[in-house]
Amino acid sequence: MSDERPGHDHPDGRGRTGLHRTGRDLSGNADVRVTDVEVVSDGWHVLRRTTFDYRGRDGAWTTQSRETYDRGNGATVLLYDPEARTLLLTRQFRFPAYVNGHPDGMLVETAAGLLDGDAPEEAIRREAAEELGVRIGELEHLFDLYMSPGSVTERVHFYAAPYRPADIVGGGGVADEGEEIEAVTIGYDEALGMIADGRIADGKTVILVQWGALTLFTR
């Protein structure tokens, strides 16, 4: 039977279909059997309530329900100038942080964005150009992490890349998407200090700066 609700068998405003089927065909874990997937919200991102049977260590099956927030996967990059020993970061307003206690919502972060159908490397090259005006050449893939696996499906691909200030052209984000991004140049040691005193409070950025401290800053 056809389901003509937007995002189901009928495309929604972003051209998506099959949102109610995600997770139904999972077979990698014999202790999990998905029985129902309900699309709670399908605005820009998708909120699902999934019901599944779970077999515990004692062999008993229980029925559980979880809500998952699907915003797609993303990528982020630590841009560094090895000669000046500086990092090129962004500063922009983040309303979710503002509404959850950040003093002004202005977060210092590494360049990042959603894949939007592109391969991770292509996506982060796009984001670095849009946000910071950097055309990345050499690009090192570091690792892929689930950032909030208790409720968010997103997996972020982490990269590092050198840059030269003379190569920066444009940047500032995409105006049509409401982006207003400031480029911030910060020394290696200062970045570590900003983590310690809370001026850098973004998870992906902390991870990349700490990676830099272990492998990059000592070169």
Same domain, 59 and 115: no
Domain count, the chain: 2
Residue 127 counted as an annotated binding residue: yes
**Tokens 């950040």, located at residue:** 102
Residue 75 counted as an annotated binding residue: no
Residue 112 counted as an annotated binding residue: yes
Same domain, 87 and 53: no
The pLDDT of residue 217: 84
Same domain, 66 and 80: no
Same domain, 115 and 163: yes
Same domain, 194 and 86: yes
118: amino acid identity, one letter: D
**DSSP string across 144-187:** EEES-TTTB--EEEEEEEE--GGG----S--GGGT---EEEEEE
Domain boundary among 70, 97, 114: 70
Residue 4 counted as an annotated binding residue: no
What is the per-residue pLDDT across 9-67, written as a single tens digit (0 to 9) for each?
Answer: 767 766 777 778 888 999 999 999 999 999 998 888 999 999 999 999 999 999 999 99
Domain boundary among 38, 70, 102: 70
Domain boundary among 38, 53, 70: 70
Residue 155 φ/ψ, nearest 5 degrees: -115, 130
CA angle 143/173/155 to nearest 5° reads 25
Domain span including residue 34? 1-70
Strand 155-162 versus strand 74-81 pairing type: parallel
Same domain, 65 and 88: no
Same domain, 57 and 150: no
Confidence label for 175 from pLDDT (cuts 50, 70 and 90): low
What is the per-residue pLDDT across 106-131, written as a single tens digit (0 to 9) for each?
Answer: 999 999 999 988 999 999 999 999 99
Please tell me the distance from the alpha carbon of residue 20 to that of residue 69, in angstroms, as a whole number. 13
Same domain, 79 and 65: no
* Structure token pair of residue 212: 């830099």
Cβ-Cβ contacts under 8 Å for 197 (sequence gap 6 or more): none
Cβ-Cβ contacts under 8 Å for 57 (sequence gap 6 or more): none
